[in-house]
Amino acid sequence: MIRQVLTYPHPILLEECAAPAADQVAGLVVDLLDTMRSLPRCWGLAAPQIGEPARVALVDVSRHPAAEAHNGLLLLINPVILDRAGKEVGREGCQSLPGVLADVRRARRIHLRLGAEEKWCSGIEARAVQHELDHLDGILILDRIASAHALHFRG
């Protein structure tokens, strides 16, 4: 089911999320996927953005023009970043901050643990995963900028 995306300053966006209940995951993933696919240029979405404070997110950059390599649709349940490599600043938008873009420094490559599975992500996929994981910790791109000069607005 397509859900409404919460926007800043909704309090759920600012809190650290808990592990999801097992019986919550399937429905939450369906709602995240339906909602993400309904939004133009949406490369990821986290559960708190649809009002669920659970450590679940999706990322899919397979159609992003800057995606050099990717893992397809990534289901992130209780994800953990094991390692980070390289740093770069890139411009990010957020469905929960409509019209706002921010220049954010992130790792260029990350090594993830997703339950019993491990994955490497790089480039735009690594950036999208880190962005969604921030949502699970109550962190927004506004919290990641170096100064107000890193903010940009679109109409």
List Cβ neighbours of 148 (8 Å cut-off, separation of 6 or more): none
C-beta of residue 155 within 8 angstroms of C-beta of residue 93: no
C-beta of residue 30 within 8 angstroms of C-beta of residue 1: yes
- Which listed residue (52, 92, 125, 132) is catalytic? 132
Give the span between the Cα atoms of 87 and 137, in whole angstroms. 21
Is 132 assigned a catalytic role? yes
Residue 23: is it exposed, middle or buried by C-beta count within 10 angstroms (0-12/13-18/19+)?
Answer: exposed
Q: Which residues are catalytic?
A: 132
